[in-house]
Amino acid sequence: MTCKKTELLVVEYLEADMSAGQRLILERHLRDCAHCRQELSAAQRTQARLRHWQDEPVPQWNRIPESLQQAGKPRQWSGLFGWQWAPLSVSFLLALAVLFNVQVSSTPNGIVVAFGGSAGIDEAELAEYLTRLEQQEEQLQALTVRMEERQDAANGRLLESVLTQFGETTSRSLEQVIAYVEEQRQQDLQLLQSSYQQLADSDFQTIRSVQELATYVQYQAGSR
Amino acid sequence: MSLRDQDELLIDDALKGSARAWERLVKRYELQVYNFSLRLMGNQTDALDLMQEVFIGVFRNLHRFRGESLFTTWVFRIAHNKAVDMNRRRRLFNEKDLYWQQDADDDEVDPFEQLSDTRPQQDPAFELVEERGNKEISRYLAVLSWDQRLIVELKLFQSHTFEEIAELQDIPANTAKTRFYSALKKLKGLMEQEHDM
């Protein structure tokens, strides 16, 4: 005995979220069909047998992946924060200091940190400070004038010294030039004198040669 | 704090690099994943391999978990996909082995002797598990084909509806129902044969 509806009936019946309407229809069919009742019962027993599974404990295994093992190592503060964020932190603090107009001043009572431009100075202190500033300015002007005068005197002495030195140098140079020229003139005169002497000597030899030649000629003529 | 909230906290911490949070998260689900793997693979070695692959997959994709479903549902979706992948690899490996073995044993095996053996063929990867009850159940499951075993796992042990199984396996719901019914019939036959029922 078989039934075409068995497969559908069994799987639908085992579906947990079956609606009440569907369940009523299926139960009505089961009352009338012994084959389906038998098949459903066997399927339920099979399921029940499989569900006897007792969870077995997990053997020891390495749960943490290698990448997480490296990342999970305790991080050193200096490595994480020291150098990586230090420049940014300093920039941020400086930006805050500028933004809030932070002033740090040293007073006889200690160091005063003030926000918003007020460093705790009253008007009398400010007037005294200004007076001191004016006095310092006058002293500075007087010092500047004295320095200018001193500088002018020094410049004058330097100029005089330079001129004197230049005059002496020039005088010595002229004397040297004259002596050189005189020496050259003497050398030239000596050279000229010796040249005239050589020329005169040469002329004397020429005359003697001519005289000897004339004598020879006269002798030849006499012998003929 | 609900389990879901605790999961979300642990996930957040694990994503920030906390090994301790990740370990706690794994410990919450490893028993379920390991037994899922053991029922499907049939032996402790393969079950451990599968479980490791599942949790590596979960870890790599943890940033993609949006909390739209329960974390356990998300984990078991990954577990299902990893199991399918592992079975595919193992089947390819076994087919290669069988090919060489077939060549070597051609002259020695009497084909009639093979035909005369009518006992249900068990998956050779299945080993005996420790618990007596579990050992029997593993032996029953080993008789099923991979697809049948997977659908029995999803339906009976993970309590999925046929619609959910159909979506997970990308098959029509009726195919899932037929496959499940065939598995039950095969198991019923085996149990009756052993006078177990």
Contact: B35, A52; criterion CB under 8 Å: no
Q: Would you state the pLDDT for residue B100? A: 46
Cβ contact B129–A56 (<8 Å) = yes
What is d(CA A66, CA A124) in angstroms, rounded to the nearest whole number?
Answer: 72
Q: How far apart are CA B197 and CA A52, in angstroms?
A: 14
Compute φ and ψ for B8, nearest 5 degrees.
Answer: -65, -40
Nearest-by-Cβ selection for B191 from A11, A46, A71: A46
Q: Is A112 on the interface with B (CB under 8 A)?
A: no
- Confirm whether A30 is domain-assigned: yes
Which helix (H) or strand (E) element contains residue A109?
A: none
Q: What is the 3-state secondary structure (H, E, C) of B120-188?
A: CCCCCCCCCCCCHHHHHHHHHHHHCCHHHHHHHHHHHHCCCCHHHHHHHHCCCHHHHHHHHHHHHHHHH
Segment A144-153 shows an average pLDDT of 91
φ/ψ of residue A120, rounded to 5:
80, 25
As a whole number, the mean pLDDT across chain B is 82
d(CA A116, CA B125): 80
Report chain A's mean pLDDT, rounded to a whole number. Answer: 83
Segment B167-187 mean pLDDT: 93
What pLDDT digit, counting tens, does each position of B64-98 carry? 998 888 999 999 999 999 999 999 988 887 765 54
- Kindly state the tokens that stand for A97: 């200091």
Which residues belong to CATH 1.10.10.10 in chain B?
109-197
- Residue A40 belongs to a domain: yes
Contact A65 B159 (CB under 8 A): no
C-alpha B129/C-alpha A18 separation (Å) is 35
Cross-chain Cβ contact A10/B191 below 8 Å: no
Identify the domain containing residue A29 by its residue range.
6-50
Give the DSSP letter string of A34-100. HHHHHHHHHHHHHHHHHTTPPPPPPPP---S-HHHHHHTSPPPHIIIIITTSHHHHHHHHHHHHHHT
The residue-averaged pLDDT of A199-211 equals 88
Number of H helices, E strands in chain A: 7, 2
Pick the CATH number of B1-85 from 3.40.30.10, 1.10.1200.10, 3.40.640.10, 1.10.1740.10: 1.10.1740.10
Residue-level pLDDT at A101: 79
A66 within domain boundaries: no
Q: CATH 1.10.1740.10 spans which residues of chain B? A: 1-85
Residue A67 is assigned to a structural domain of this protein? no
Other Cβ atoms within 10 Å of B147 Cβ, number? 17
Which residues of chain B make contact with A11, given a CB cutoff of 8 A? 162, 177, 180-181
Q: Which fold has domain B109-197?
A: Arc Repressor Mutant, subunit A (1.10.10)
Domain count, chain A: 1
Task: Read off the pLDDT of residues B93-116 as tens digits, 9 standing for 90 and up.
Answer: 776 554 444 444 444 443 333 333
Task: State how far the Cα of A1 lies from the Cα of A199, in Å rounded to an integer.
Answer: 172
Q: What is the pLDDT of residue B128?
A: 47
Domain assignment present for A88: no
CA A44/CA A11 separation, integer angstroms = 10
CA distance A9 to A3: 10
Question: Is A53 close to B35, i.e. CB distance below 8 A?
Answer: yes
Phi-psi region of A117 (alpha: psi -120 to 50; beta: other; left: phi over 0): left
Q: Buried (b) or exposed (e) across B38-52, using 16+ Cβ within 10 A?
A: bbbbbbbebbbbbbb
User: Mean of the pLDDT values across residues A88-94?
Assistant: 86
pLDDT band at residue B121, thresholds of 50, 70 and 90?
A: low
- Does ipTM surpass 0.90 in this model? no
Question: Does A34 map to a domain?
Answer: yes
- Residue B164 burial (10 A CB sphere; 0-12, 13-18, 19+): middle
Interchain proximity A54–B131, CB inside 8 Å? yes
- Would an 8 Å CB–CB cutoff place A83 in contact with chain B? no
Question: Is the minimum CB–CB distance between A2 and chain B shorter than 8 Å?
Answer: no
Give the confidence band of A83 by pLDDT, cuts at 50, 70, 90.
Answer: low
Instruction: Summarize pLDDT for A39-75 with one digit per residue, the tens.
Output: 889 999 999 999 999 999 999 999 888 777 766 554 4
